[in-house]
Amino acid sequence: MKDERQEIRRGLLLLGSAGVFARLVDLGAIVVVLFFVSKEELGAASVAWALTTIAEAAVGIGLGTAIVQTPTLDDRLVRASSSFALLSGLGLAALLSALGPFVAAWTGDPHVTAYVAVSSGKLIFTGLSLVPLHLLTRELRFRAFGAVQVLATLLAALTRVGAAVGGLGAWAIVLGHALHPLFVLVALRLVGARVPRLTQDLRGLSPLLRFGLRSSSSEVLERVHRHADTLIVNHFLGPGAVGLYRVAMDVTGGVATAIGDVVNKATLPVLSRLAREPARFGEAFLWATKKVITVAGPVLLLVGVAGGPLVAVIQGGEFAHASALLPFLAAAAFLRLVFQLFPMAFYARGFPEESLRLGAISMVVLFVVLGGSLALLAPSIGLLAVGVGWLLHYPSMAPFAYRALRRTTGLRFRDHLRLRMRGSSLGADARA
């Protein structure tokens, strides 16, 4: 168990340091941009960004996760995977661009057509960078991965700030997000990462794609779960409310995403190595959960309490109404981080379908509780109805999540609640 803890701790330290720095840079850029855009411009750009981010999860159809999880991987499969990821990115970019006019008609802002078209270009660069990034994770090259993350975020932040100061308005947000994976490619070259050559020979991908399709479907549902809120708020309250909501969510959800991505990338390869050792697997999973709680709890508490005054002074109070949402969203972000480790356990144990099933349930619950809260409470409490919906969501999901965790790992709710290492009794009844 000591080796596994050391691997997770090393990954958390290296990726965590890089993730915190990158997130601070990103948050700083967001604050600067908010001085140059209105809440309506931010809302319209956020709709385009949300759709692109959801589509991004389908690039490669889960080949990234499959590459990390598979026990054997040769050069031919690596090259075929990279080529397939690029082709999927091109196809998704074309599809999303074609949907742009319909999205613009739905939002009532004709500029959204162009926002969606440019944002979709991100999917092409994502396809090119997908396999090299996951090879770094597979090889536990956390230092190099962290360097890529920091450099790409820094370049994207500079792009965003430069475009905002130059008077481009909502385009500053669109360009910052669209160019980020291009900067990832640049950073991959600088750290000496392996960037496979492309090939027309795609034979042998079927086993990886079978696994990847299930994990990709789960990831798409997770992205829908993470970003459909923007679309739901736009439907009930319009782009101006979306702009306010995105400010609060970027502050709280952005911190949670930075922590969650670090934990996932550091934990999945370690758990995958222990997939056939239930006792050690259970211990490593609970230890990782404990680390998430001890790191994320204080950070999100600080964000929820201290973030409000900062948001209230931006652009003469343009986004002041977002301040009241921060405590609600910080609490919801903490719960999200705890449950976000569950899919990592499912993937590592070879049950991506459990993550897919749980993601589908989570999406349905989200639409019900968030849409219901807005429909019933928005007329009286306005945007705070979104915060109420998020707080209801994760407790509603808990019974389904823990049932799936026990089926796949043998871990029970009381194990997770106590966060105690219980030796070989953990996972004793896990599925083989």
Alpha carbons 260 and 262: distance in angstroms, whole number: 5
The answer to whether residues 111 and 104 touch, using CB atoms and an 8 Å cutoff, is yes
pLDDT at 430: 36
User: What digits encode the pLDDT tens for the residues 28-50?
Assistant: 787 788 888 888 888 889 889 88
Token pair of 331 as six digits: 């609490």
Residue with the two structure tokens 């360097």: 147
User: What digits encode the pLDDT tens for the residues 354-398?
Assistant: 887 888 888 889 889 999 999 999 988 888 999 999 999 989 988
Q: Predicted confidence band at 422 (pLDDT cuts at 50, 70, 90)?
A: very low
| DSSP at 108 | T
Token pair of 189 as six digits: 């070259």
- For 46, the domain range is 2-425
Q: Is residue 432 part of a domain?
A: no
Alpha carbons 224 and 120: distance in angstroms, whole number: 16
Q: Is residue 430 part of a domain?
A: no
Number of folded domains that form the chain: 1
Residue with the two structure tokens 């589908």: 360
| DSSP at 198 | P
The greatest distance separating any two alpha carbons of the chain, rounded to the nearest whole angstrom, comes to 61
| DSSP at 118 | H
Q: What is residue 411's three-state secondary structure?
A: coil
Q: Is residue 247 part of a domain?
A: yes
User: What digits encode the pLDDT tens for the residues 52-87?
Assistant: 999 998 898 888 878 877 777 888 888 888 899 999
Q: What is the pTM of this model?
A: 0.70
The mean-pLDDT minimum among 110-114, 226-230, 380-384 falls in 226-230
- Is the confidence at residue 228, as pLDDT, over 90? no
Burial 27-43 (b: 16+ CB within 10 A, else e): bebbbbbbebbbbbbbb
Question: What is the percent of the chain with per-residue pLDDT over 90, rounded to a whole number?
Answer: 24
**Residue 410 class from Cβ within 10 Å (0-12 exposed, 13-18 middle, 19+ buried)?**
buried
The answer to whether residues 216 and 61 touch, using CB atoms and an 8 Å cutoff, is yes
Alpha carbons 422 and 279: distance in angstroms, whole number: 9
Q: Is residue 204 part of a domain?
A: yes
